[in-house]
């Protein structure tokens, strides 16, 4: 699978969890101590977030990182 396809699935997963939590990109950025533009880039599949960033995003959304992983896996089916 091309790397960009994985990045797009990660972004879709993050956006899905974020919107389910009722958070804006700005809200999540503040909670995860990241720039809102970075959140946008992740969600658009432009960035390839590290495990540290994925963990920070999960913590910012008050969910286990496995929640993001489960959403990522949904994109495979």
3-state secondary structure 39-61: HHHHHCCCCCCCHHHHHHHHHHC
Mean pLDDT of the chain: 93
Domain that holds residue 65: 3-74
What percentage of residues in the chain have a pLDDT greater than 90?
A: 88
CA dist 75 and 63 (Å) reads 19
Task: Quote the pLDDT of residue 77.
Answer: 56
How many structural domains comprise the chain? 1
CA dist 8 and 52 (Å) reads 18
**Residues of the chain with confidence (pLDDT) below 50:** 1
Model's pTM, two decimal places?
0.91
Please check whether residue 47 is in contact with residue 41, taking contact to mean a CB–CB distance below 8 angstroms.
yes
3-state helix, strand, coil in the chain (%, to 5): 70, 0, 30
Q: What is the CATH number of the domain that holds 28?
A: 1.10.260.40
């Amino acid at each position: 699978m091309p790397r960009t396809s994985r990045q797009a699935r990660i972004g879709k997963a993050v956006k899905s969890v974020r919107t389910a939590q009722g958070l804006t990109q700005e809200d999540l950025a503040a909670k995860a101590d990241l720039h809102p533009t970075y959140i946008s880039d992740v969600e658009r599949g432009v960035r390839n977030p590290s495990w540290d960033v994925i963990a920070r995003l999960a913590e910012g959304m008050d969910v286990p990182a496995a929640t993001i992983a489960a959403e990522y896996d949904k994109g495979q089916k």
